[in-house]
Chain A
Amino acid sequence: MNNSKTAWFKTFYNQIRSLLTLSRGGKERFTEKLFLSISLLPVLLIVLLVVALWLRTQPILETQSIWSLLLGQTWHPIKSQFGFLPFIAGTMWVTIVAMVFAVPVCLLSAIYLSEYARASMRMIMKPLLDLLAAIPSVVYGVWGMLAIVPWVQNTFAPFMNKCFSYIPFFAVNNPTGFGIMAGGLVLAVMVAPFIIAITYEVLQAVPTGLRQASLAVGATQWETIKYIVMRQSLPGVIAGVVLGASRALGETMAVLMVVGNVAHMPTSIFDAAYPLPALIANNYGEMLTIPLYDAALMGAALILLLVVLVFNILSTLILRRIVRRSRR
């Protein structure tokens, strides 16, 4: 052990020495390798994360099958019952509600910015929208607790209860206002800048000549957007939405503050929920003496990581294809 340590140190020392005494060409090769290894670190980190999470999930997978974990509805750590389904469902509900609110607004904003707005308007709007992305998540959480939760509790939920309570998803069984609706609304605002920015870029990648080809036969601007621009950019828009959804899936702080955090299967958009990130953030580091609790939380993290990774890889592939096509 000690021997190999000194050996490693010797190699390192020699590397440094040779760097100092190297010719310019040698230094050039050394710096290139150095930068390469530094930039490989993050890539390596992702692989390590997945492997480490996988290994630390193993203890629980030895006692129960992956399906009983994924589909189990009971979360009772002391009785060694670790059903993830309520948390997976909570994550999905919050994300879907967020996307339902965010996508139409973001699409229309991006279309306005790309197709209708004058350059001067764009100069003002774009930085402001980008600024939304820079607001710390906890600030959104506070805003959610102070503004959105009371609004859901006092205005929106009573209204929906009065008018639409016969529709299953809209029933109000939770009088607090903390729940999926509040979480979804806060998330919608948080992911909006990303979806708008990506959609805007995708729309800008549509060649001007294509728009003009449509206008030249007497189409209106809206017809051109509807039939040509949107059709051409649909894959990219979907990629942008998926990327936004993956941010929503993983968002922790703001959601955790407003979503209620009750481990049950939600049945209505006004129910409280307990998304995966909130589960991990609230519980990791506490009660870890409970057997398998640690492994269960690692499993939750693994699921989250894998879903977000898949979403990101898919949308990156689509977006890359679009950029390549628009350069042609």
Chain B
Amino acid sequence: MDSHVQTIDLNAFYGNTAALKNVNLEFPKRQITVIMGPSGCGKTTLLKTINRFLELTDGTRISGKVLIDGENIYAPNVDVTEIRKKAGLLAQRPYPLPMSIYDNVAYGLRIHNMKRGHDLDNAVEHHLREAGLWDEVKDRLRSPATGLSIGQQQRLCLARGLAVEPEMLLGDEPTSALDPISAQRIEQRLLDLKNEYTIVLVTHILRQAKRLADYVVFMYLGEVVECGPAQQVFENPQQERTRAYLEGQF
């Protein structure tokens, strides 16, 4: 397995409460890794350590390492904006920026001075196509993004994330606010995109995990209980707690 992200003895604390306990994991490159577990088990915390979002919350602390392509992103001389640029984020509900559809996608490109003029137009189109939104919005690129349906907004957020050419996509229950059809479209996008991006997905929907996962991490109370290839974990879980969870006991 070619690992893209690796955590080494990763611990995370909210105040004095440990949210992650000695997490040692590898996230394979260009595969979908699904993090599952009951609420409060640390799934989202783990996700937030990969793009260094955890430190945005007051009173959080981290020990251990997170390596992306072998480089510790918590090393003192690391530029945190570069780390975040590498990992596109899909949040629990879409947050379109208060600007037009076009500007939403162009936002990251402009921040990083990546493209100008005609190039910018092309890039916006390309990433809107990648997110499966182009045909629906091509005639109203200049209208405010908040006018889109919530499912379209989430795909716009996907396009916005893809625009800065990340290597990874992090999804924090990205379909939980969506209707089933919109959710399905997001899932389809993720399946299409996994050939180019490493995808880490937090979900509490077991069926979604089964549909999407190549690798599965099962967490409970801040610890990794079990991890491995999806088929193996789903069909033949090694741990009693994993089995219980998969059978819907908690």
Question: B93 interface residue, CB < 8 Å from A?
Answer: yes
Contact residue among A118, A119, A212, A220 (Cβ-Cβ distance under 8 Å from B95): A212
Contact A213 B111 (CB under 8 A): no
Task: Report the minimal beta-carbon distance from A28 to chain B, rounded to whole angstroms.
Answer: 42
Contact residue among A118, A216, A231 (Cβ-Cβ distance under 8 Å from B89): A216
Residues of A within 8 A of B181 (CB): none
Residues of A within 8 A of B84 (CB): 215-218
Can you list, as one digit per residue, whether each of A207-250 has a CB less than 8 Å from chain B (1) or not (0)? 10110111111111001000110011000000000000000000
CA distance A216 to B93 in the complex (A): 14
Query: Which residues from 79 to 124 on chain B have a C-beta closer than 8 Å to any C-beta of chain A?
Result: 81-82, 84-85, 87-89, 91-93, 95-99, 107-108, 111-112
Question: B1 interface residue, CB < 8 Å from A?
Answer: no
CA distance A24 to B58 in the complex (A): 51
CA distance A150 to B242 in the complex (A): 77
Contact residue among A220, A231, A232 (Cβ-Cβ distance under 8 Å from B81): A220
Contact A216 B161 (CB under 8 A): yes
Question: B56 interface residue, CB < 8 Å from A?
Answer: yes
Question: Which residue in chain B gives the minimum CB-CB distance to A229?
Answer: B98
Residues of A within 8 A of B82 (CB): 218
Residues of B within 8 A of A227 (CB): 97, 107, 111
Contacts A209-B91, A212-B89, A228-B97 hold; do A217 and B59 have CB atoms under 8 A apart? no
Task: Report the minimal beta-carbon distance from A326 to chain B, rounded to whole angstroms.
Answer: 12
Question: Which residue in chain A gives the minimum CB-CB distance to B160?
Answer: A217
Contact B85 A213 (CB under 8 A): no
CA distance A218 to B87 in the complex (A): 9
Residues of A within 8 A of B96 (CB): 213
Contact B58 A118 (CB under 8 A): yes
Residues of B within 8 A of A207 (CB): 95
Contact B111 A218 (CB under 8 A): yes
Contact A119 B89 (CB under 8 A): no
Residues of B within 8 A of A212 (CB): 53, 56, 89, 91, 95
Query: Which residues from 115 to 164 on chain A have a C-beta closer than 8 Å to any C-beta of chain B?
Result: 118-119
Q: Is the interface of A mostly helix, strand, loop or mixed?
A: helix
Question: Which residue in chain A gives the minimum CB-CB distance to B107?
Answer: A217
Contact residue among B51, B58, B59 (Cβ-Cβ distance under 8 Å from A216): B51
Contact A209 B93 (CB under 8 A): yes
Can you list, as one digit per residue, whether each of A27-64 has a CB less than 8 Å from chain B (1) or not (0)? 00000000000000000000000000000000000000
Question: B163 interface residue, CB < 8 Å from A?
Answer: yes
CA distance A213 to B51 in the complex (A): 12
Residues of A within 8 A of B163 (CB): 217
B interface residues, tally (CB under 8 Å) = 29
Question: Which residue in chain A gives the minimum CB-CB distance to B170?
Answer: A216
Question: Which residue in chain A gives the minimum CB-CB distance to B157?
Answer: A213
Contacts A212-B56, A223-B111 hold; do A218 and B81 have CB atoms under 8 A apart? yes
Question: B217 interface residue, CB < 8 Å from A?
Answer: no
CA distance A220 to B99 in the complex (A): 18
Residues of A within 8 A of B160 (CB): 213, 217
Contact residue among B99, B112, B164 (Cβ-Cβ distance under 8 Å from A231): B99
Residues of A within 8 A of B89 (CB): 212-213, 216
Contact B164 A218 (CB under 8 A): yes
Contacts A209-B91, A213-B95, A232-B98 hold; do A218 and B56 have CB atoms under 8 A apart? no
- Determine which residue in B51, B82, B93, B111 has the highest number of CB atoms from chain A within 10 A of its CB, and name it: B111
CA distance A214 to B95 in the complex (A): 9
Contact B108 A217 (CB under 8 A): yes
Residues of A within 8 A of B98 (CB): 210, 228, 231-232
CA distance A220 to B111 in the complex (A): 9
Task: Report the minimal beta-carbon distance from A228 to chain B, rounded to whole angstroms.
Answer: 6
CA distance A227 to B112 in the complex (A): 14
Task: Report the minimal beta-carbon distance from B199 to chain A, rounded to whole angstroms.
Answer: 15
Contact residue among B85, B88, B95 (Cβ-Cβ distance under 8 Å from A210): B95
Task: Report the minimal beta-carbon distance from B158 to chain A, rounded to whole angstroms.
Answer: 12
Residues of A within 8 A of B111 (CB): 217-219, 223, 227
- Determine which residue in B56, B91, B98 has the highest number of CB atoms from chain A within 10 A of its CB, and name it: B98
- What are 10 residue pairs bridging A and B, where the CB atoms are less than 8 Å apart in the complex? A119-B58, A119-B59, A210-B95, A212-B95, A217-B108, A217-B161, A218-B81, A218-B164, A227-B107, A231-B98
**Inter-chain pairs besides A212-B89, A213-B97, A214-B97, 18 sampled, C-beta below 8 Å:** A209-B91, A210-B95, A212-B56, A213-B96, A214-B107, A215-B53, A215-B56, A217-B84, A217-B85, A217-B88, A217-B163, A217-B164, A218-B82, A218-B108, A227-B111, A228-B97, A231-B98, A232-B98
